């Protein structure tokens, strides 16, 4: 079981879509990825989304910060696709991506 007093380990995937001019899109998304890296959580960057592993409160705080990072970078509006994988026993990226 991957759980302690903070709760079970879970996964959150975030696809952040800041409303900025196209030439600014990747730089703004890169700022969000840098914040995820700085948070210290385990994460995997994919071509369409970034998947993070950690505790619910910390991951949702990162999602919240991601929105504000986009606004501070000049986005007028931010859309996001957020996916979660949660179970009381915990769930890790490693167990989901381990070779068969």
Euclidean distance between CA atoms 25 and 52, whole angstroms: 21
User: In the structure, what pLDDT confidence band is assigned to residue 23 with cuts at 50, 70 and 90?
Assistant: very high
Domain presence at residue 69 = yes
b or e along 32-42 (b: 16 or more beta carbons within 10 Å of the residue's beta carbon)?
Answer: bbeebeeeeee
Instruction: Tell me the pTM.
Output: 0.91
Domain presence at residue 13 = no
Domain presence at residue 16 = no
The reported pLDDT for the residue numbered 1 is 58
3-state SS, residue 53: strand
How many domains in the chain?
1
Euclidean distance between CA atoms 45 and 7, whole angstroms: 24
Q: What is the pLDDT of residues 25-76, one digit of tens each?
A: 999 999 999 999 999 999 999 999 999 999 999 999 999 999 999 999 999 9
15 strand-pairing partners = 81
Q: Which domain holds residue 68?
A: 3-8+21-97
Pick from 69, 74, 80: which is nearest to 38 by CA?
A: 69
Give the CATH number, domain containing residue 28. 3.30.70.930
């Amino acid at each position: 079981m991957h759980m302690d007093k903070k709760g079970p380990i879970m996964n959150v995937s975030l696809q952040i879509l800041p409303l900025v001019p196209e030439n600014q899109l990747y730089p703004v998304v890169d700022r969000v990825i840098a914040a995820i890296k700085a948070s210290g959580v385990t994460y995997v960057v994919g071509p369409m989304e970034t998947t993070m592993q950690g505790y619910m409160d910390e991951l949702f705080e990162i999602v919240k910060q991601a929105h504000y990072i986009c606004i501070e970078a000049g986005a007028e509006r931010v859309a996001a696709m957020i996916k979660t994988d949660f179970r009381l026993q915990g769930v890790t990226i490693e167990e989901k991506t381990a070779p068969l």
